[in-house]
Chains A and B, each alone.
Chain A
Amino acid sequence: MSEISFSFDDKIFKGIQGEPMAAALLRNGMLSITNSTYHNRPRGIVGLGVEEPNAIVQLVSGTKESMLPATMIEVTSGLEARSLTGVGALPEHPDEARYDKTNCYVDTLVIGAGVAGIRAAENELRTGREVLLIDDQSEPGGHLRHLGLELTASMQNVLEQKNLTYMRRCTAVGLYDQNYVIAIERRSEHLGNAAPANRARIRVWHIRADRVVLAPGAFQRPLIFANNDRPGIMLSHAAATYVALHGVKIFKRAVVVTVDNQGYRDALRLHRYGVQVQAIYDARPGAKGSSVDAARAAGIPIRFHATVIDTSSNAEGACTNVTLQDLDTKEIFQTDADLLAVSGGWTPIVDLATHIGIKPTWSEKHAAFLVNQNTEKLRTVGMLAGDFGGDDDPTIFFGPELDSEQARHAYIDLQRDTTLHDLRRAVGAGLSSIEHIKRYTTIGTAHDQGKTSGMLTIGALCQLHGGANGGLSPADVGTLSFRPPYVPVPFAALAGRERGLLTDPIRITSLHQWHVEAGAVFEDVGQWKRPWYFPKPGERIHEAVRRECRAAREGVAVMDASTLGKIDIQGPDAGIFLDRIYTNMFSTLPEGQCRYGLMCKADGIVFDDGVTTRLGKNHFLMTTTTGGAARVLSWLEEWLQTEWPDLKVYCTSVTEHISTIALVGPKSRQLLSELVTDIDLSKEAFPFMHTRMSNIDGIPVRIARISFSGELAFEINVAWGHARYIWERLWTLGRPYDLTAYGTETMHVLRAEKGYIIVGQDTDGTQTPYDLNMSWIVSKKKEFIGKRSFQLPYLKSPGRLQLVGLLPLNRDEAIPEGAYITVVDAGPDKHGKTPHTGFITGSYFSAILDREFALALVADGPSRMGEVVAIPIGKKVVRATICDSVFIDKENIRRDN
């Protein structure tokens, strides 16, 4: 045992390496630790472990953890901590500590290494099972340790078995379905400066166990009485443990108030370690048992049917006097005491069991809620299962009757400063359910999640409703259900190593580095990084986009389209399969040709779109939207596996196998012809929606005449790794053409000018192909997914949101995307609301039209051409005319050139 120094609120204290900070503070006379959050009353240490409601501190050294109970911090040399009133302050700097996580599979997981847990582990080992034993304390033994006793040789032997792994400082924080347990292991903080730099501060364990044995033990309960929150009023088991085990000598004269024999055991320990126990006040009419006899033999006065009703304090707020009451005669009397040790019975830790929906049952005999489970998969042992040991015979008692003035200072939840008065007010307001009362009063919602206050609330409710005199029993009220986590878990621990760049995968194309070097501004599209626009020095976004658009419409421009989802579809039934998936026909598509396709879900709503190319008799290449690739592949697989297993079709994601370079603009053919010499690129030899195999400097490429801009355009498809070479060659040859790279913003403008939709942007999950003016793509000749739904009345009814264009009356006035459209001058309806008739899905400035324009979903839009609508934006109203959604080249002369 080595003596160390640590600081608390900037004062230096001596402590023993590894002991709880609460013990060291008490030994140093720190009776009052902090002031309470709402009532500003001095508060001291109450408990022994995670149940501590008062002594919450924040660490200033090391990882600046903002709220930790002083009972759970092991002091080390140089540790610095501060008291805390209310919520902790988040540190200003990121948490630099290391956190990790690991998975673990085990035959039996035993939670709690007290006597019951170790015995249970022994039984499990005996049947040949491998056991993981976890416990939140620094040493095994549970209550044995608090009593200063060593493990017996046989218990020590259990811990040394090779089939058993014992993990200390490891708290199970959640129990989930099929015995999935998350536990938090504190690995380095207790070592202080001696901790190896590479050791994780906390390790999160994801444990799957064939069997879980719950041996969590119990918390001692306080009692409800006036001024029960003063420093010097403690749980008796905690007080006796600090005095007997940790050498706390600050208490001279104690009063013990109890409802069970635990109070006697603790009184005896206080007595043996030099505290004068003035008397034990026992709420029961009488008591039997060895501990009662021992207390009597030690000369400690015992008074039955008496309990504490109030306390008074010195100038610092610490307890100095205790007011007691005879429960028969109601006689009041007083005694002085600097320690009031309270034993209100035991509350077994039901938290983990309630995580998976188990309802604890009330036991009159134990005056406690218990969980008795003994299935193959889940067992409960020890106090949780009702094995209280000893000679306990508790009574159901939560505190004396208090008048309304006393109730104002009778605390139920010390951390929330919630009193019996607050509880009465909640009941007076008509609340009866414990869950409602919790939310109304905030009892049990603080850092400690009601570990000491939950059962008091239930008890006080019973007393309000008549108590033992034919009123409610705790069985009627029921226990609170707890949710994970059992103790607070730092977000950093849950994040583990998945921080910063490792938070989420980043997908980049094989041309990414070129884009970076060209100064592209990127946008995130799902996990993809896509160039948004390529500003020249000094250019702002709209200037860059206008330049890029003009190049695509008047010269030649190039875009990296590699993120498009690509699915390779092969098999003798591939054509039939695509006929069923797409609204239009694919089985008749000749080899070497491409076709735009639209797919719907069975409910008739448009799901995705893209161009699919027939590469061979039994071989298609489907493209999907960038964001839709994964869900489209899942969709195809679902139909193949669960509805059409007779179809011989195989689908493979090839998104990252093939890079796609889109060469766009009236001069694209001329530029490409400098690079591709083995095929005829002329309009006649290589028409729109055709594809040709070729090579560039010996690199195989597939060229396709596909256009998402409405311009003459060629797509160059090449193996992912060769894309940069092809792109560089284009760039060199393109210099005389002023070849311009463009990003997604220009792509959006170009496609919108042409009225090409983006599923998910120009649709809101309610559009059929008909709502998008795409009846031309719906085959009448064949069955396909969604076809039947087009006959449903609600997909044909008036008022559906349908795609149109909008031109603002003022050609320079931009309309924000998402803005609601109203009928001009309709004014508010009888509910005071202005009815809307649609919304803006895309809004851009067109360089070629030299004006603002928009796409929109408008109720019955296509039948309202020419109507002027109003778009309120803040205080101003933009007016715009409904028009066709195709703004340029309706005849496709540019595209098909």
Chain B
Amino acid sequence: MLHIPCPHCGLRNETEFHYGAEAGVAYPDPNALTDIEWAKFLHIRANPKGWLAERWVHFAGCGRWFNLWRNTITHEIGPAYLPFTQQPKAPDNIGKEDSKA
């Protein structure tokens, strides 16, 4: 059960949130893309081992979308930030396991 810092409500249990995949993928101009590029936008997202900026929505709380750094190996939670704001740096490899992996 992740403990997720909603930027509006503070630390809450994971069950109050829904996941929204990789953050920072801007919606492109659909007509400027080839079929392949458009299909990649639709279906391909980064899935790195380690820190990933993700989108989450606090659906059972304030209902707001936000972004969050999360380590996909250690499940450590990094800083949360609002959409359209400066993305904070990826946390250092606090995850001891991760740095070796």
Q: Chain B nearest CB: distance from A417 CB in Å? A: 37
Q: Residue on A with the closest CB to B33?
A: A788
Q: State which residues 610-660 of A face B: CB under 8 Å.
A: 634, 637-638, 641-643, 645
Cα(A356)–Cα(B39), bound, Å: 36
Q: State which residues 583-624 of A face B: CB under 8 Å.
A: 602-603
* Docked-complex contact A642 and B65, CB < 8 angstroms: yes
Decide if A157 is an interface residue (CB 8 Å cutoff). Answer: no
Q: Residue on A with the closest CB to B59?
A: A634
B residues less than 8 Å from A788 (CB atoms): 30-31, 33, 38
Tell which of A178, A642, A793 touches B2, judged by Cβ atoms closer than 8 Å: A178
Tell which of B3, B30, B84, B97 touches A787, judged by Cβ atoms closer than 8 Å: B30
* Docked-complex contact A642 and B55, CB < 8 angstroms: yes
Tell which of A356, A634, A783 touches B30, judged by Cβ atoms closer than 8 Å: A783
Decide if A304 is an interface residue (CB 8 Å cutoff). Answer: no
* Docked-complex contact A645 and B38, CB < 8 angstroms: no
A603-B43, A788-B30, A788-B33 are known; give 11 further A-B pairs, CB within 8 A.
A178-B2, A178-B3, A208-B13, A356-B75, A602-B42, A603-B42, A637-B63, A637-B65, A638-B20, A638-B65, A789-B38
Contact with A along B6-26 (1 / 0, CB 8 A): 000000010000101000000
Decide if A177 is an interface residue (CB 8 Å cutoff). Answer: yes
Which of B's residues lie within 8 Å of A, judged by CB?
Answer: 1-3, 13, 18, 20, 27, 30-31, 33, 35, 38-39, 42-43, 55, 57, 59, 63-65, 74-75, 77, 83-84, 97
Q: Total A-B residue pairs with C-beta atoms closer than 8 Å?
A: 54
Q: Chain A nearest CB: distance from B50 CB in Å? A: 15
Q: Residue on A with the closest CB to B73?
A: A357
19 A-B Cβ contacts within 8 A? A177-B1, A177-B2, A178-B75, A178-B77, A180-B3, A180-B13, A208-B3, A356-B75, A602-B42, A603-B43, A634-B18, A638-B20, A638-B65, A642-B55, A642-B65, A642-B83, A645-B84, A783-B30, A788-B30
Interface size of A as a range: 20 to 34
* Docked-complex contact A641 and B83, CB < 8 angstroms: yes
Tell which of B1, B33, B63, B84 touches A176, judged by Cβ atoms closer than 8 Å: B1
A residues less than 8 Å from B84 (CB atoms): 645
Q: Residue on B with the closest CB to A603?
A: B42
- Chain A CB count within 10 A is highest, among B31, B65, B74, B97, for B65
Q: Residue on A with the closest CB to B75?
A: A177
* Docked-complex contact B20 and A643, CB < 8 angstroms: no
A residues less than 8 Å from B35 (CB atoms): 791-793
Cα(A179)–Cα(B31), bound, Å: 47
* Docked-complex contact B75 and A792, CB < 8 angstroms: no
* Docked-complex contact B2 and A357, CB < 8 angstroms: no
A residues less than 8 Å from B38 (CB atoms): 788-789, 792
* Docked-complex contact B1 and A180, CB < 8 angstroms: yes
* Docked-complex contact A357 and B65, CB < 8 angstroms: no
* Interface majority SS (helix, strand, loop, mixed), chain A: helix
* Interface majority SS (helix, strand, loop, mixed), chain B: mixed
Q: Residue on B with the closest CB to A182?
A: B1
Cα(A642)–Cα(B21), bound, Å: 13
Cα(A208)–Cα(B1), bound, Å: 10
Contact with B along A295-313 (1 / 0, CB 8 A): 0000000000000000000
Cα(A356)–Cα(B33), bound, Å: 43
Cα(A179)–Cα(B83), bound, Å: 28
* Docked-complex contact B3 and A177, CB < 8 angstroms: yes
Cα(A357)–Cα(B84), bound, Å: 35
Cα(A50)–Cα(B27), bound, Å: 55
A residues less than 8 Å from B18 (CB atoms): 634
B residues less than 8 Å from A357 (CB atoms): 74, 97
- Given A180-B3, A357-B97, check contact A638 B42 (CB 8 Å): no
Cα(A177)–Cα(B73), bound, Å: 11
- Please list the 4 inter-chain residue pairs (A to B) with the smallest Cβ-Cβ separation, ordered nearest first: A788-B30, A178-B3, A180-B1, A177-B75
Cα(A142)–Cα(B65), bound, Å: 48
Q: Chain A nearest CB: distance from B15 CB in Å? A: 10
Q: Residue on B with the closest CB to A177?
A: B75
B residues less than 8 Å from A792 (CB atoms): 35, 38-39
Cα(A178)–Cα(B65), bound, Å: 22
Q: Chain A nearest CB: distance from B32 CB in Å? A: 10
Q: Chain B nearest CB: distance from A798 CB in Å? A: 17
Cα(A179)–Cα(B2), bound, Å: 9
B residues less than 8 Å from A178 (CB atoms): 1-3, 75, 77
Cα(A602)–Cα(B38), bound, Å: 10
* Docked-complex contact B57 and A634, CB < 8 angstroms: yes
Cα(A783)–Cα(B20), bound, Å: 23
Q: Residue on B with the closest CB to A793?
A: B35
Cα(A768)–Cα(B36), bound, Å: 19
Q: Chain B nearest CB: distance from A551 CB in Å? A: 42
Contact with B along A169-185 (1 / 0, CB 8 A): 00000001111100000
* Docked-complex contact B42 and A789, CB < 8 angstroms: yes
Cα(A609)–Cα(B2), bound, Å: 35
